[in-house]
Amino acid sequence: MKKIIGIGNALVDALATLQDDELLGVFGLPKGSMTLIGDEEQQRIQERFAALDVQRATGGSAGNTMLALANLGAAPGFIGTVGSDDTGRFFADNCVAKGIHPYLVELPKQSGIAYTFISPGGQRTFATYLGAAAMMEPSVLTKEMFEGYDYLYVEGYLVQNHALILRAVEMAKEMGLKVCLDLASYNIVEADKEFFTMLVSDYVDIVFANEEEARAFTGATPEEALTQLHELCDVAVVKLGAKGASLMRDGEKVFVEAMPVDKVVDTTAAGDFYAAGVMYGITQGYSLRQCAEIGTLLSGHVIQVVGTKLPAETWEAIRQEIACIAQNG
């Protein structure tokens, strides 16, 4: 089986389910977005979170994708930076426990935390304190990190660090890896569209975008955006939320509806788990439709829980369903 290593912000998610969206207004957070915060704002939010029922889990976009892959037995790796603190140790220990090989560099800064506000209905809003994660520099990357892997999975939140991402994708290409990119968030794409365009055009083999990100990148409808993205890379994926997702590879286009669920609890990591399912299928040599079905399966399950902690029996059921998808062709 081909293997994947992710690079991203090593974050620990602090997840709080809200009764209403009043707190979003207090902190000036646009619903459904990801907003970067500094030290002072982090302290304000931490004080409010201390009074809430908060769950903690390893997070970050690429980290979530590697977590799902690990639960499928894919033995992924992860590159990131953390602080020498309890939060950093929590992240590293969880990686090892879940089957992710961590390439973590410790820095003299507090580890990153993603404060996750879960609105009624499951939509999530992030206030992200990057901390040590934001201090990752090109110099931390070594060729040894890429040895034994076939794909580099890059989270779009890192793209603001141009020098780091260019070094990562250039090293990956030198080592014979294919590059996958998740566009991360529509506001991130809008703020750095020129660099995203260059990156996708020159380095990326597989690109993931949701409907808003695809529109921010291309200015087009989802269907048109899918075609435009496919013109730039081998595989294009446009996720359409509750409607499903469309994919293109080698001129083939498929659409698979979202998995029906009784109740959406939290959409945190839905896109990350979808990407994991698609990437797992690609590493197995499955058809494009099979890849989409596996992505749909993973995202459909993760939105029924808070965060990314699926029970062991759920993962076993998922693995059995994937075996059926593979057998049925």
DSSP 137-175: -GGG--HHHHTT-SEEEEEGGGGGSHHHHHHHHHHHHHT
pLDDT at res. 34: 83
- Locate the domains of the chain by residue range: 4-9+60-106+131-328
Q: Which of 3.40.1190.20, 3.40.630.40, 3.40.50.970, 3.40.50.2300 would CATH assign to domain 4-9+60-106+131-328? A: 3.40.1190.20
Q: Which two tokens stand for residue 64?
A: 């979530």
Q: Would you give the DSSP letter of residue 77?
A: E
What pLDDT, on the 0 to 100 scale, is given for residue 55? 86
At 139-183, the pLDDT tens digits run 999 999 999 999 999 998 888 899 999 999 999 999 999 999 999
Question: Using CA atoms, how far apart are residues 223 and 225, in angstroms rounded to an integer?
Answer: 5
Q: What percent of the chain has pLDDT over 70?
A: 100
Does the pTM surpass 0.85? The reply is: yes
Residues 43-72: what's their mean pLDDT?
A: 92
Please count the other Cβ atoms lying within 10 Å of the Cβ belonging to residue 233.
20
In this predicted structure, the answer to whether residue 284 has a pLDDT above a threshold of 90 is yes
In tens, the pLDDT along 59-86 reads 889 999 999 999 999 999 999 999 999 9
Gap between the Cα atoms of 177 and 328, Å rounded: 30
Tell me which H or E stretch contains 239.
strand 235-239
| pLDDT tens for each residue of 188-242 | 899 899 999 999 999 999 999 999 999 999 999 999 999 999 999 999 999 999 9
Phi-psi category of residue 134: left, alpha or beta, with phi > 0 → left and psi -120 to 50 → alpha: alpha
| 329: pLDDT strictly greater than 80 | no
